Chains A and B, each alone.
Chain A
Amino acid sequence: MATRLQFENNCDIGVFSKLTNGYCMVAIGGSESFYSVFESELGGVIPVVKTSIAGTRIVGRLCAGNKNGLLLPHTTTDQELQHLRNSLPDQVVVQRIEEKLSALGNCIACNDHVALTHTDLDRETEEIIADVLGVEVFRQTIAGNILVGSFCALSNRGGLVHPHTSIEDLDELSTLLQVPLVAGTVNRGSEVIAAGMIVNDWTSFCGSDTTATELSVIESVFKLRDSQPSVIVDEMRKSLIDSYV
C-alpha cells in the first residue's frame, strides 16, 4: 500500500524520513499531520521515532540503516545518539561512524541483505557497514551517478532506480541485489528516487506530486498490493479459522 503525503508543502519526503522493516525515523519540526500519517500506517507495528541528526531535519539523507542496524554520520550529537539508542528496538545496533562523506543516506542504499555504496567510501566504512547492517557491500554506480543512495529505493522485495539506467545496468544490479528492479520516476518526473519516496517490505510513502502511473509502478515492483505486516496476517488467519468452526 502506497500513501502520498507532503512535508510542509515539500514533496521530498525521503529527505525528512527514513523507513526500514524495524523502525521509522521522522524529522522534528514538521506539522503534526506529517507525523500522524506515519503513526496511523505503522503505529504498533514498528516504532516511529521523531529525531534530528546534527541538528538538522534532513534525517533521511544523513543516515543509512536496515532492520539490523543504523549508521549515523560523525556530525550527530551525543544527545541525538542517545535518544536513538533509547527509542529504537534493542536488536538495532546504532553506530556513529567517522566518514568524510557524511550524507550516508545519499551514499548508501541498502535492504536487509545487500548494500550498494558510493565508490569513494572508505575501506573501514565498508567493513562497518557489512558488520553493523549485516549486509554484503557492493561499490556501484547507478546510471553513471555515484550517489547510489539518492537514485534508488530498495526493499527486500524490489527496487526502483534512476529512470536513465540502461538495460545492462539494470540486469547487473538486479543480479547483485537479487531483487527485481525497474527504472522509473517519482513525484511527477523527479529522478531523485530516494528523496521522493521511502519503502519497506509492506508499505511505502511517496510525495504528493507522485502520479497514479508512478504509484502503480511502485506498488507493483515492491509487491505492495497485497502485502501486510506479518502480525496482522497472523491475526487474520486466526479469525478465518474461527469462522469455519
Chain B
Amino acid sequence: MWEQQFSKFDGGAASRTILPQKTIQNFFHETLIFAHQREPSQSVPPSRNRRSSTSPQLFSVFEMPRKPRRKQRPKSWPVTFSPFARALARMASVSKPNRRSKSIESSEKPTRSSTSNGSSKHTLEERPEGSESSDGEFDGVVQADFAFFDPKPNDFHGVKTLLQTYLDVEEWDLSGFADLILEQTTVGTVVKVEDDEDEGVFALATALNLWRYREQRCIMKLKEFLLLKASQEKGVGDQLRLLLGERAHNVGLLVSQRVVNLPPQLLPHLYDSLFNEVSWATEDEPTEDLRNSFQFKHYIILSKIYKHKNAEQQKRKRSDDREEEIVYVKPEDEIFHELSSWSFCFPLRTQQPAPHELKNYRSMGLIMTVEADKIPTFRQQLTSLINEG
C-alpha cells in the first residue's frame, strides 16, 4: 500500500518552492518531490517493512545550495508569526513569478537524481532563482529541502516554540505537552529541512488520545481551558464535556502547528502521513490497549481564525462586499470547519496589531470537532484545494 501511494505522489503534481529570506515577496512554485525519512521505531515489529527501507525514501526534494555562513546565524528561515507575514504569504501564494533560467537550474541539481525506488521526477515549470551572491548576503530567496521525520527528543525547542500560543496566554505545562508529543513516535510528524544543522522545526502534526494521557497535567489543564471557553457558548458545553470525559477513549486531539509561510503543497502529504500513521498504529502497536487508543472516532481541533468585526453588517451588504466573514490562517481549517459536527469561536486575549489587509478582522480561537469517518472526505478536499490554489 505504501509503495503504491509512493508512485502516485511521484507522478502527480509537483512544484518546488523556494523560501524567501526576510520578506515573503516571491513564492516560486516548482517541482516538488517529498522526502519522507522514517527511522525504524521500536514499536514497529521488524517483519513489517512497511515504512523503513534500506535507504530513506525521498518523495520530495527541494534543492539546497548552501552558502557558507558567518558565525552569526543569518535569518535565512522566514520564521515569522506576525499577521502581516501571514497575509503576505496568502497573497504571495496566489501570484506566480516569471523568471526562467535553465542553465543555473541544471548545475544546481546534483542531489535530485538521488531518490530511491527508481522513481521518475516530473519537473513541471522550472524557475530557479539566481542567488549566487557574496558570503553573508542573500538575494531574498533560499531554496530548501523539506523532510518529514518522526518526533525526536532533540526537537523539543522547535516544537515548544510552535506551541507557544496554543492555549492563548494561559500558563500551563507547555514543556510537558511538548514532551508528550515527542514521546509518541508512532503517530506524529515533524517537518524539518533536510541536513539542516540547526534542526529547526517548521511544522508539526500529531494526534493525541485524550484518555491515554488523561493523567498528565498539561492535558488536564487543556481540558479545563476548552471547557471554560465552551461554558460561555450555549449548547456545545455538554457535548464537549462528554467528549473529554466518558467518550475520551476514542477522542484524539489533532495538533497541527507550523510556521506561517510553509508551502501549502506540503499540507496534503503532511495530513496523509498523519492519518496513515494513525491507521497503521491500530494494527502495529504492541499492546491491545494502545491499538485501541488509536481507533479515533472524533478529533478535536483547536485553531485560530480571523473573524470580520462587523459580522452582522456583512450579511446586509453582501452584494458589493468582497470581504469574507472568516479568514482562515491555515487553509485546511476551512475544510475541517465545514465538515465539523460542531464548532465555536472565542475571543483571544492577545490581540496583535493587524496588517492592512486584515484591519477589519479580529483574531479568534476556534474549537471544532470532526468525526473520524469524515477524514477521507477531508483528505480529498484538501488535495483539490491545494492543487487549485
Could you tell me if B169 and A209 are in contact, using CB atoms closer than 8 angstroms?
no
Known contacts A9-B164, A10-B164, A189-B157; A209 and B71 CB within 8 A of each other: no
- Residue on A nearest B166 in the bound complex, by CB: A9
Could you tell me if B156 and A6 are in contact, using CB atoms closer than 8 angstroms?
no
Query: Of A6, A11, A144, which is within 8 A of B171 by CB?
Result: A6
Task: Tell me if B175 counts as interface (CB < 8 A to partner A).
Answer: yes
Residues of A near B71 (CB, < 8 A) are: 144-145
Q: Which has the most chain B C-beta neighbours within 10 Å: A9, A190, A208?
A: A9
Q: Which has the most chain A C-beta neighbours within 10 Å: B164, B169, B170, B174?
A: B174
Could you tell me if B156 and A9 are in contact, using CB atoms closer than 8 angstroms?
no
A contact face: mostly helix, strand, loop, or mixed: loop
Q: Which chain B residues numbered 151 to 183 have a C-beta less than 8 Å away from chain A? A: 156-157, 164, 169-172, 174-175
Could you tell me if A188 and B156 are in contact, using CB atoms closer than 8 angstroms?
yes
A229 to B373, CA, bound (A): 64
CB distance from A80 to the nearest CB of B (A): 22
Could you tell me if B157 and A9 are in contact, using CB atoms closer than 8 angstroms?
no
A11 to B71, CA, bound (A): 25
Task: Tell me if A127 counts as interface (CB < 8 A to partner B).
Answer: no
Known contacts A9-B164, A10-B164, A189-B157; A208 and B175 CB within 8 A of each other: yes
Residues of B near A145 (CB, < 8 A) are: 71-72
- Residue on A nearest B172 in the bound complex, by CB: A9
A11 to B164, CA, bound (A): 11
Query: Of A8, A31, A144, A209, which is within 8 A of B175 by CB?
Result: A209
CB distance from A21 to the nearest CB of B (A): 30
How many A residues touch the partner, as a band? 10 to 19
Interface string of B310-324 (1 = CB under 8 A from A): 000000000000000
Residues of A near B171 (CB, < 8 A) are: 6, 8-9, 31, 33
CB distance from A38 to the nearest CB of B (A): 16
Q: Which chain A residues numbered 7 to 41 have a C-beta less than 8 Å away from chain B? A: 8-11, 31, 33
CB distance from B296 to the nearest CB of A (A): 28
Residues of B near A146 (CB, < 8 A) are: 72
A27 to B164, CA, bound (A): 19
CB distance from B234 to the nearest CB of A (A): 30
A145 to B72, CA, bound (A): 7
Q: Which has the most chain A C-beta neighbours within 10 Å: B71, B156, B164, B175?
A: B175
Residues of B near A8 (CB, < 8 A) are: 169, 171
- Residue on A nearest B71 in the bound complex, by CB: A144
Residues of B near A189 (CB, < 8 A) are: 156-157
Residues of B near A188 (CB, < 8 A) are: 156-157, 175
- Residue on B nearest A207 in the bound complex, by CB: B175
Q: Which chain B residues numbered 60 to 100 have a C-beta less than 8 Å away from chain A? A: 71-72
Q: Which chain B residues numbered 234 to 253 have a C-beta less than 8 Å away from chain A? A: none
- Residue on A nearest B169 in the bound complex, by CB: A8
- Residue on B nearest A145 in the bound complex, by CB: B71
CB distance from A9 to the nearest CB of B (A): 5
Q: Which chain A residues numbered 179 to 221 have a C-beta less than 8 Å away from chain B? A: 188-190, 208-209
Residues of A whose CB lies within 8 Å of any CB of B are 6, 8-11, 31, 33, 144-146, 188-190, 208-209
Known A8-B171, A188-B157; 5 more pairs at CB < 8 Å: A9-B171, A11-B175, A145-B71, A146-B72, A188-B156
18 contacts between A and B (CB under 8 A): A6-B171, A8-B169, A8-B171, A9-B170, A9-B172, A9-B174, A10-B164, A33-B171, A144-B71, A145-B72, A146-B72, A188-B156, A188-B175, A189-B156, A189-B157, A190-B157, A208-B175, A209-B175
Residues of B whose CB lies within 8 Å of any CB of A are 71-72, 156-157, 164, 169-172, 174-175
